[in-house]
Amino acid sequence: MGETLDIEPVDASFGATVRGLELRSLDGQTWQAIRRAWLEYGLLIFPAQHLTRDEQNEFALRFGELEFAAAPISNVGKSGRIHSAPDDDVVKGIRGNEGWHHDSTYMPVQAKGAVFTAEIVPSCGAPTGFADMRAAYEALDADTQQQLAGLQAYHSLYYSQGRAGYLPSKTNDRGGYDQYGYHDGEPCLRPLVKIHPETGRPNLCIGRHAYGIIGMEPAESEALLDRLVVEACRPPRVHFHRWTEGDAIVWDNRRLLHCATEFDLTEPRRMWHTRIAGERESELAVNYA
């Protein structure tokens, strides 16, 4: 692996910066080295790539089918207006993402990963945080590991946005929301301890979308899930990447939690998110099998 990649691990239990290559023009050997590094480190950071949307999608497709192609995560509207009012639905979506989460655990098939790029970055760098759920599981004492074995929790975007106070203002004629993730199906049920399908290692599957552990009272479930997140998301298991325009990253959503961080919403920010679909064999919710 090291013979083809210039890899510098970040100061955490996971993650690395990769320099000296262009993601838009990878040869087969370099791609295989990237894939191995992705499984080893969970998070790969590629500075100054300046990918087009098509180039970003093409790179993501190397990891698997797409859940969706490059979509803007931004406070800049199509007309150029900057969304900053607290009751704005765009702002609510941005603020909700400041909670630690896995992507698409609220969908029947959880995402495998994502490619994320920076087009417009505010002055603070608007860091994105990542947390290592493999190392978090390994740091638990034996009694807690035994307690979590076999436990399952529901995951819902309605739950997470509602608990944070960020549900959209606009509803459709069915009383729901015409936004990605607010589906009409049953909330997705997932184990608290997920075995990674490619590494075989156990990882916590928790975060803001998780609630309602089977067999527990709501308050007991909420307290346990909150405690797990607080204990998991602390050094040396966290890394915050401060963005520079043109940066590209790819992360393993089966291993890592991530979160946005607060920034001045009067400043423009435009990121592009390509979500890599999970395989049904390993990422399908228990109650959708």
Q: What is the pLDDT of residues 28-67, one digit of tens each?
A: 999 999 999 999 999 999 999 999 999 999 999 999 999 9
Q: What local confidence, expressed as pLDDT, does residue 2 receive?
A: 40
pLDDT tops 60 at residue 3: no
Tell me the pTM: 0.96
Rg (CA), the chain: 19
168 vs 176: CA distance, rounded Å: 9
Distance of CA 108 to the CA centre of its chain: 16
The full set of domains in the chain, from first to last, is 6-288 (3.60.130.10)
pLDDT of residue 175: 86
User: What percent of the chain stands above pLDDT 90?
Assistant: 96
Evaluate whether 254 touches 113 at the Cβ level (below 8 Å).
yes
What pLDDT does residue 1 have? 38
Q: Give the DSSP letter string of 81-117.
A: PBP--TT-HHHHHHHHTTS-B-TTTTSSB---EEEEE
Mean pLDDT of 114-139: 98
Q: What percent of the chain has pLDDT over 70?
A: 99
* pLDDT band of 84, cuts 50, 70, 90: very high
Instruction: Please state the rounded mean pLDDT for residues 137-152.
Output: 97
Kind of pairing between the strands at 113-120 and 248-252? antiparallel
Strand order across the 256-260 sheet: 238-241, 128-132, 256-260
Residue 97 pLDDT > 70, yes or no? yes
Q: Parallel, antiparallel, or unpaired: how do β-strands 16-19 and 43-46 relate?
A: parallel
**DSSP 8-state secondary structure symbol assigned to residue 24:** G
Q: Which two tokens stand for residue 92?
A: 């609510």
Task: Return mean pLDDT, the chain.
Answer: 97
Strand partners for 43: 251
| Mean pLDDT within 218-237 | 98
